[in-house]
Amino acid sequence: MQLPSIYVDTKKIQKNAELVVNICKKSGIEVMGITKGICAFIPAVKAMLDGGVPKLGDSRMINIISMRDAGIDVPIYLIRIPMMAEIENVIKFTYGSLNSELTVIKALSEKAVILNKVHKVILMVDVGDLREGVLPENVLDIVEKILELPNIELEGLGANVGCYGGVLPSYENTKTLVDLAIKIESKYKIQLKTLSGGSTVNLDLLDNGEMALGINQLRIGEAILLGTDIKTLKSIPGAEVNTIVLKTQVIELKVKPSRPIGEIGRDAFGKIVDFQDRGNRKRAIVALGKQDCGLDGISPMDSSIKILGASSDHMILDVTDCELEIQVGSIIEFNMDYGGMLDLTTSKYVEKN
Ligand SMILES: *Cc1c(COP(=O)(O)O)cnc(C)c1O
């Protein structure tokens, strides 16, 4: 057994995919399953597809190519604006991409002509979160130029909130997309197939009946992979949680004082840490560190175990209040949030099962 290791419960992921697909279907919304959070770990991707997700999206070409290599042949979209350096791969391996730069879309068009393919573009509109996207007032102009490009199909518009600016999804920001689509359709006499309204944070909006009518796609990662919603900090009603469990082993177990002994300077990461004196505590060191994941991203499944801190390779736990019989060699289990999942699935030190 190699440790640290994550255990992905693909049955739970499949159930979550079914749940999300069914919730969205009731409102005429299609789900693009987002695989970046789990580094496109193939068993998890297959579970998403088994749960009824019809198409996939990922932010990294490496992940997309690994899915193609594994024989996954559903439409896959690149959901980060393509780099000029990856245009050829985008045309070869994806069905479409999210875009906001005419220069990039022109390059996609040129390569698509050469490779005799048609590439679908979802034009991202910045509805206020100030990450990617064309500002609403500039959308009509850029659309006119996109429509002139050969081998590019303007599939629709997309928006993203709750990422950089933490802007909450709302009726207003989803309505912005719908209104723009209506203007484009009447001005250019075309039909936009897809209005991609957002991510997991939009599910709550849908549930409250506050999503603008006309949105017909959501791009969902977290709700399927973890069963949670970072916006409400809760699990999605009816979803399975603890879909992924991290396990590692205790390598030292000793009773030690809670304040370091000697003059205090900077720690291994240049920080000065203030330690509270809580007397002698039973401390377990587990084989896991900041090189594997950030401390904020994981928490012990047993809530009586507290994380005291970590350096690159060692995590120190206070197990004084833990009722389990912990010894050197014991396995400690953790669950994780989206950030923890990202860290752990990209670490080459963490085995995936
Ligand atoms: C990551 C991402 C998503 C999915 O977000 P979740 O919170 O995992 O549902 C959707 N769209 C874009 C552009 C993303 O980068």
CATH of the domain at 114: 3.20.20.10
pLDDT tens digits, 116-145: 999 999 999 999 888 899 999 999 999 999
User: Are 18 and 70 part of one and the same domain?
Assistant: yes
Beta strands 280-287 and 314-318: pairing type?
Answer: antiparallel
Q: Is residue 36 annotated as a catalytic residue, yes or no?
A: yes
Quote the pLDDT of residue 212: 96
Q: Which atom of ligand 1 is nearest to the CA of 218?
A: 10
Q: Is 222 in the pocket of ligand 1 (CB under 6 A)?
A: yes
One-letter amino acid for residue 210 of the chain: E
Which of 206, 219, 243, 342 has most ligand 1 atoms within 8 Å of its beta carbon, as the pocket-test mutant?
219
pLDDT tens digits, 196-216: 999 999 999 999 999 999 999
pLDDT tens digits, 141-188: 999 999 999 999 999 999 998 777 778 899 999 999 999 999 999 999
User: Are 273 and 220 part of one and the same domain?
Assistant: no
The structural domain count of the chain equals 2
Q: Which two tokens stand for residue 262?
A: 């000697």
pLDDT tens digits, 51-92: 999 999 999 999 999 999 999 999 999 999 999 999 999 999
User: Are 188 and 259 part of one and the same domain?
Assistant: no
Q: Is 218 in the pocket of ligand 1 (CB under 6 A)?
A: no
Task: Tell me the C-alpha to C-alpha distance, in Å, between residue 280 and each of 255, 323, 327.
Answer: 6, 17, 18
User: Are 101 and 183 part of one and the same domain?
Assistant: yes
Contact indicator for 63, 35 with CB cutoff of 8 Å: yes
pTM of the complete model:
0.94
Q: Is 33 in the pocket of ligand 1 (CB under 6 A)?
A: no
User: Are 212 and 135 part of one and the same domain?
Assistant: yes
Residue-range definition of the domain harbouring residue 288? 244-352
The fraction of the chain above a pLDDT of 70, given in percent, is 100
**Rounded to whole angstroms, how far apart are CA atoms 217 and 205?**
13
Q: Is 202 in the pocket of ligand 1 (CB under 6 A)?
A: no
Mean pLDDT of 36-45: 97
User: Are 203 and 91 part of one and the same domain?
Assistant: yes
Which is the catalytic residue, given 15, 36, 120, 231?
36
Quote the pLDDT of residue 166: 78
